[in-house]
Amino acid sequence: LLGYLPSGNWAVGLAVATLWIFLPWLEILTKIRALRMPLERELAHKNPPGRDLFPNLDDLTEEIERQGFELVNDLGCDWDAQHQFLRLFHRPSDQTQAALCLVDQGNIAFYYISLVTRLLDGRVFTTWNYPFSYSLKFLPQTHIQRLRSTASFIAMCEAHQHLLSRNKISVDAIPKLDPPQLQALLQQDLTAQITHNVRAGLLAQVDKQQVRYTWRGMFYLWFRFLWDFVRL
CA distance 1 to 17: 8
Q: pLDDT in tens for each of the 232 residues of the chain?
A: 444 445 455 565 555 556 656 666 667 777 778 888 888 888 999 999 999 999 999 999 999 999 999 999 999 998 877 899 999 999 999 999 999 999 998 888 999 999 999 999 999 999 999 998 888 999 999 999 999 989 999 999 999 999 999 999 999 999 999 988 999 999 999 999 999 999 999 999 999 899 999 999 988 888 887 776 665 5
* 3-class DSSP state of 149: coil
Helices 153-166 & 57-65 angle (0-180, nearest 10): 50
Total residue count of the chain as it appears in this document? 232
Instruction: List Cα–Cα distances, 178 to 92, 95, 185, in angstroms.
Output: 9, 9, 11
Domain boundaries, the chain: 41-199
User: CB–CB of 115/96 below 8 Å?
Assistant: yes
